[in-house]
Amino acid sequence: MHVIAVTNQKGGVGKTTTALAIAAELALGGQRVLAVDLDPQGNLGMGLGVAEDDGASAYEVLSERSTLAEASRSVPAPGLERLKLVPAGPRLARAESELVGQIGFDELLKRALAAHGEADVAVLDCPPSLGALTINAVGAADLVVSPVQCEFFSARGVVKLVEIVELVRNRRNPDLRFLVVPTLYDKRNNICRAVLAELRRSFGHEVAQTTVGIDTRVRESQAKGLPVGLYAPRCRAAKSYRDLADEVRARLTREVRHAQAA
């Protein structure tokens, strides 16, 4: 199974939107996808139109009370039969404080994913912080996708993300891939363009070719509980996210070749 962690400690940069879109595109393309909501805000489940219930959720998985299969739900949207959701659940906010300090706390999700045979790819939506939940996600990932808003202050945040990716590469997973995704991009704005150019200079091929512009259809789709590619397949954001899903697929496939060659 491939594992994609969508993460950036900065809030409101498009993590959940990107996780939703990638999960939906991969499922529409025929893969069995497990989307895991690791943000106590529960936006991923909302964006997929799954109502909150009291069943097992990401919290029960991380506290080893449930398997991922037991915690997963079907998604109501037509065409997304191959997508399953593990919701955040009402108790996930406790996990941050409960997990830290336990031996091996940072590998709980990795182990749960390794034991789950029912998906080809997992997409993990992280909270806007670098706590226990995000560390679990990055530690389990083959590919870290970081949506970055092209604003002046974002560049520093990317440096922090790169440091974390480097740490994980050095200590645990030398093959970890990293993909920065410019989101909420406004090509008419000089600062946006300058920040994107700087990102490409600094991080080269680790910045996606695809940029995702501001598109009101994105907000509408989330209010309807549908990924944007299903709500308005012809809008600009839907097209960008299809292109991004192709880039993600290419990176995951290269990784397989890399692993086989080793």
Q: How many residues interact with ligand ATP (rule CB under 6 A)?
A: 20
In sequence order, what are the beta bridge partners of 5? 124, 144
Q: Is 1 in the site for ligand ATP (CB under 6 A)?
A: no
List the single partner that 184 binds among Mg ion, ligand ATP, none, CB under 5 to 8 Å by kind.
Answer: ligand ATP
Residue 8 has phi, psi (to 5 degrees) of -170, 130
Shorter beta-carbon distance to ligand ATP: residue 66 or 150: 150
CB-nearest residue to Mg ion: 16
Count of beta carbons in the 10 Å neighbourhood of residue 65 = 11
| Distance of closest approach, residue 250 Cβ to ligand ATP, in angstroms | 22
Q: Is 237 in the site for ligand ATP (CB under 6 A)?
A: yes
Helix (H, G, I), strand (E, B), or coil: what is residue 213?
A: strand
| Distance of closest approach, residue 216 Cβ to ligand ATP, in angstroms | 6
Beta-carbon contacts of residue 180 (< 8 Å; ≥ 6 apart) = 146, 148, 158, 161, 199, 203, 206, 207, 208
Residues 5-34 that bind Mg ion (CB under 5 A): 15-16
d(CA 143, CA 208) in angstroms, rounded, equals 13
Residue type, 191: I
Beta-carbon contacts of residue 61 (< 8 Å; ≥ 6 apart) = 67, 68, 71, 86, 108, 109, 112
Shorter beta-carbon distance to ligand ATP: residue 12 or 233: 12
Per CB under 6 A, the list member of 215, 226, 244, 252 interacting with ligand ATP is: 215
List the single partner that 57 binds among Mg ion, ligand ATP, none, CB under 5 to 8 Å by kind.
Answer: none
Kindly list the residues in this chain that would bind ligand ATP in the complex (CB under 6 A).
11-17, 39, 41, 43, 128, 183-184, 212, 214-215, 218-219, 222, 237
Residues at the interface with Mg ion (CB under 5 A): 15-16, 43
